[in-house]
Structure 1
Amino acid sequence: MNKKHRFVFGFSIVVILLGYLALTSGVLSNQYEVSEAVAAKQNLTDSVIIVNGSVVMGTEKWDALNRTFTFKLTDGIETIDVIYTGERPDIPPDATSIQAVVTGRFNDSMFESYKMLTKCPSKYDAADDITR
């Protein structure tokens, strides 16, 4: 194989790899908004994914005996039922909105989460008032 053929062969391999990475980058991403996760639910049944959304206020229930927190999560388009197992999330009782990021998998009827992060805007309002 002469120099020109090796260059063309090597360049072709690089182009193929870059094309493959570009095509699969969206497929390999495991972070979704609620509506994206619902749309792809059939393909995600056995996959651990991360779902972002807002907790539907009034749907939260803490079961201290089983250490489970159930609630509805929405992105304004779709809504899913979530059951989180672990420590009780730090959510102020007067919270008016809660952004949540849950990690887990879909089962038949709901999303089972083993990791949950919350950000509650009302939790930070008092600090803003102090600095004014």
Structure 2
Amino acid sequence: MLNTIDIVVSDLEASMAFYALLGLDFKIDEYSKEHAGCDLPNGLHVMLDTVSFRTPFLPGWTQPAGGPGNMLCFEFPDPAAVDAKYAELVEAGHRGMAEPFDAFWGMRYATVLDPDGNGIDLYATLEVSA
């Protein structure tokens, strides 16, 4: 059962601020200032760990290079909300990877990058024309 996602980050505070813009409320762990967690209503737990926190447990690990290491997908209630959130994130200084577009699979879609270059997809179902 998948119940936790751990994202390795270079700057915990910057990552917490970014994900707060997407509605995730991370709390720094009382035992380590380099680890934060967020419980989602669906039971999924998301963690942010600094590189310096994780590397002692992962001998030989290096951060991915050349593109997003992960893609997290956030659903929105309608296409206008995708456009608004994309604009908010880009205006806050985060890099847009794909501006909002109507995808052939029936969704409004956009992608931004978090502070560590992970892809963040924003999407909503397009209304079906009658």
Structure 2-normalised TM-score?
0.29
- Structure with the greater relative contact order (CA < 8 A, sep ≥ 6): 1 or 2? 2
The answer to which structure has the higher helix fraction is 1
Structure 1-normalised TM-score?
0.29
Larger Rg: 1
